[in-house]
Structure 1
């Protein structure tokens, strides 16, 4: 009996022990995830401490990997070799006023700036690559660009005309030529309400950039900021009439395409004659007369500006796609890329990005005191073009008529013209306002079918009228748009105002004579009443190019500085324009400094 009781008690004790262990195991299993989560939270809440010395060393190691790895890596990342990079830093410090900050040296600032332009890197990508904050990257980007724009008088090239000693094809046929000019579109981001003005004929949102270059593919003059819808000839006219005008000496000229007028200082090819390379085909399609020969040589020479635009966009990726900077900063970036292009062309004669380079002579520079300030056609200029054309085609000179003129046109009456009364114009203005408020106007202009709608509205308000949508209303709207654009351009001139009482242009006689001297087409606009100007602004104001954001290097620098600082001139380094007195890469580029031991280059430059 005792044995059975003992066995029973032992069994009960074993069961209790097993039950207790199972309960403890269960509680431990439930508690473990909570302990792990508590430890994880504690780890996250623990402040992370950085070693500033290690971080600075890592930043300098990244910069040295780009610069000290060799010229190949430096060219791929910064678009220039180590020698040119050192010279650029020297210029920016001693002329542009760029200095070291507390933790960022000049070399790193310039490297970040060039990296953004060369590869169109966003702010976050650059801050990750260089281990800097986004605010630091943005501040130093604008600091370097401000210093670079101060060098424009030094980096822009002064052209030299072709003289009789030049033996370079095809420039030897264009004696007195300074170079070539053309316009190109560069994509930008603008506000939604301004997209209509910046939309090009190809449908892209861009600015129209006027570029002028010499025979060595160096920029001479640049005007950027005009809306993409503006014509090339209009941008050139503005460049000639600005305060910081584009100057063409008398007796010299630039080559340009048929988008411009054949006037003094600007030589264009013959119209309705083969010109572009794809029109010539194979070697069997040789020039057949003196005009085709002139166009062929003109195309070969003027192609220098097309190659230049292609090389510029190939070198700087930020010009190949719109950036997200404000519009005025995007225009400054375009000018900065142009200055860097001239600097690289000067420092690296064998440009690795250029497919081929023409060998040109070294003509003698002549000093001119009189410049071309307007676009006026003249028979003397047309006859001069014919003379140099026949001179270069002596073989068939006798078979060409002396006048070189085409067949005379018969003066036929224009059936599309009609005289508009004041009431008809008022009714058309009111109809345009009505369809604009009803949503018939988009950013690309009026929607299809608006002419029929306007014609019906005119017939309703004016019974028995013979006004038709096409050509009458269409032609009238075209004239109004052109007139409104001319008035806006005129009012943007210095010293020109608007008289709201008489709806006329308000300007002094001296100011008006200066304007008419540069643009004779403005002569008849002074005393005429423009009663519909405010209505035109309401209808066409958002989709007409005005050039209010147009900038040259001088205006861009004034906007960036916003100070009365004196702009450094390029002739203080001597006539030979030798940039840097040292040879080779600056040794300070490859050194690693801490904030306490680095040399303050800015302080040394000021002393």
Structure 2
């Protein structure tokens, strides 16, 4: 950045009113500290030593400049009306809590955030959406970017160029799937250094860097760097063309070899498996058991977990099941579950019904959702199998995107927060900015002990001299008192702002309480419906049991003959007769116990006649 561009940037930041000059730190110094931290990824401690400032002062100046730069987003990041642009996603390292790490650790070894950006062919950013977790796919972030308040606009008849990670749809032009693009560029990318700031601050820093990039492309274009980048891309293109030629030769040889093999042997079909609902349930139960054993670390399953699941499923399910079968099925289940989870997880007014396996809500709630998101109409009648188990297994590690946002959305949110405050509290004001001076305790006005002109000396003149010293001391004390009173006034304003925020929080709590009450009513209705369904199921089961014919074993026949008191000579004959004739056996057991002896005598007499 040239000195002229630096001074112009400082003037723009001064015009925002967020960054101000103080008695000990000018705007130029504050901006220089910010650029040094962002450009070299240094710690706060290093900058405080270099600029001879405390760590608190450096941190305060850094965040003030950061917010001031983001406030310029409307001026430097906007969506033009050109012919075509390009979109892509990139991963940037972040520092998050260990509990949140699985949502940020995708294909990379470290925790990252996925940043979605659109740029024009004059090397300027036109749209930046940051804050999504590293496990979120590019297609999912694109879907979110098209439906946000500050959405990505695709004019009719125009299109964006994207990579294979985006879906092929109207306005998005993706490459042909059969060709590997940019493999050399991907292989040379690194993970980057670990950041020193928290995840929310890193999202703001990324947006600020995009704004600074667009600013420099307009006022201070470095043609030398652009030429170096172009030369590097051309060299990569030459290397990539030679690599593609070798790959094509290998592919041709494989195709010829495969053709010869097909001429000699019949090609074996792929090892495909069709999963039923019972097989899915067995798989989820096995995975849940392995998770309880501790064979899952940061959303990744250990080799022992896969081996145990394969062994268990082979004993319960017919067929040859491999580890790859389980991985493929888990991927399919996660994709189907993720669509429903992303839609209903953060919505109020919906409750999951495990009996009907659907999300239940009032009609007006469904109508509002379908009006906002028409694709949600299918979930009104579609069942979701094993949703509870899938939520326990994969819901925690699912990317939510709650911290995502664009620069315009952040600016709008800060403006709303500012409107709630009665008076803007300047973060630049501090006791160090006030011109407070130590009283000159050693100051003594030199006056002769014995004046040469005794006649000119009078008590009034002496009193006047003492009054001058007293006035100076009073001015110093008044200056300190005014400064202290000013700070107390600012603290009072801050307390009032906190009180207003607490009041707003109470209003929000009341609204949330009303929503919870409605959900409780819906849950009670669902419990009543479930109880009725259970009663109906019990009655149906009783009817089925009563209508089903009962099977009487040989031991039951022998016990009945013993209870009737038949002597041993006739007991064996009656036993053989009843065991050989199922109809007579059911007839005997169908009569009352006190009438069974007479019924048996009649049966035996009738048999003897025949």
Normalising by the smaller structure, the TM-score range is 0.5 to 0.7
How does 1:71-470 map onto structure 2 within 5 Å? 80-95=1-16, 97-161=18-82, 176-177=83-84, 179-273=85-179, 275-276=181-182, 320-355=192-227, 416-421=272-277, 423-443=278-298, 445-459=300-314, 462=316, 465-466=318-319, 468-470=321-323
Residue 321 of structure 1, CA deviation: 2.1
The verdict on how the C-alpha distance between 1:206 and 1:495 changes in structure 2, with shifts beyond 3 A counting, is same
Distance, in Å, in 1 between the alignment partners of 2:419 and 2:228 is 41
Residues 188 and 321, structure 1, Cα contact 8 Å, conserved in 2? no
Task: Identify if the C-alpha distance between structure 1 residues 432 and 357 changes in structure 2 by more than 3 Å, giving closer, same or farther.
Answer: closer
Q: Aligned equivalents of 1:343 and 1:443: distance in 2?
A: 40
Q: How far is 1:446 from its partner?
A: 0.6
Cα displacement (A) at 1:124: 0.6
260-269 or 464-473: bigger deviation? 464-473
Q: Distance in 2 between matches of 1:443 and 1:274?
A: 31
State the Cα distance separating 1:324 from its structure 2 match.
2.4
Does the 8 Å CA contact 1:451/1:469 hold for their aligned counterparts?
no
Cα RMSD (Å): 3.4
In our comparison, the structure showing a higher alpha carbon Rg is 2
> What corresponds to 1:575 in structure 2?
none
* Offset, 1:184: 1.0
CA distance in 2, matches of 1:351, 1:96: 33
Report the alpha carbon displacement of residue 136 of structure 1 after superposing the two structures with TM.
Answer: 0.8
Evaluate the alpha carbon distance shift between residue 418 and residue 191 of structure 1 in structure 2; reply closer, same or farther with a 3 A threshold.
same
Report the CA distance between 1:187 and its aligned residue. 1.0
> Given that residues 74 and 408 in structure 2 are in contact (C-alpha distance below 8 angstroms), is that contact kept between their aligned partners in structure 1?
no
Distance in structure 1 (CA, Å) of the matches to 2:180 and 2:310: 42
Alpha-carbon shift at residue 207 of structure 1 (Å): 1.0
- Aligned mates of 2:132, 2:436 — CA distance in 1: 48
Pairing 1:528–2:388 present: no
- Comparing 342-351 with 549-558, greater Cα deviation is found at 549-558
Cα displacement (A) at 1:528: 2.8
Distance 1:498 1:148 in 2: 43
Equivalent pair of 1:149/1:336 in contact (CA under 8 Å): yes
Q: Report what 1:508 is aligned to.
A: 366
CA distance in 1, matches of 2:172, 2:349: 29
* TM-aligned CA distance change 1:531 to 1:560, over 3 Å: farther
Counterparts of 1:338 and 1:141, CA distance in 2: 17
Q: Contact 2:89/2:117 (CA < 8 Å) preserved in 1?
A: yes
Instruction: Report the counterpart of residue 475 of structure 2 in structure 1.
Output: none
What whole-Å deviation, never above 9, does each CA across 1:545-594 have from its counterpart, x for those lacking one?
2322222113333555661559xxxxxxxxxxxxxxxxxxxxxxxxxx99
1:553 aligns with 2:407: yes
The alignment partner of 2:100 has SS state of helix
Distance 1:474 1:275 in 2: 27
Q: Structure 1's 81 and 450: CA in aligned 2 closer, same or farther, altered over 3 A? A: same
Partner Cα distance (1:150, 1:240) in 2: 23
Matched residue pairs, number? Answer: 382
TM superposition score normalised by structure 1: 0.57
Partner SS for 1:180: strand
Distance in 2, Cα, partners of 1:187 & 1:594? 40
In structure 1, how many angstroms separate the alpha carbons of the residues matched to 2:163 and 2:224? 28
Shift in Å, 1:494? 6.6
The 1:494–1:112 alpha-carbon spacing in structure 2 relative to 1, beyond 3 Å, is farther
Residue 470 to residue 247, structure 1, CA distance change in 2 (3 Å)? same
1:477 aligns with 2:398: no
Shift of residue 98, structure 1, vs aligned partner: 2.3
**Quick one: structure 1 residues 495 and 156, their matched pair in 2 at CA, closer, same or farther if it must change by over 3 Å?**
farther
Q: Distance in 1 between matches of 2:99 and 2:346?
A: 24
Q: Supply the distance in 2 between the matched residues of 1:555 and 1:158 (Cα, whole angstroms).
A: 15
Query: Which structure exhibits the higher relative contact order, with contacts defined as CA atoms closer than 8 Å and separated by 6 or more residues?
Result: 1
CA contact (8 A) 1:225 1:547 kept: yes
1:117: how far off? Answer: 0.5
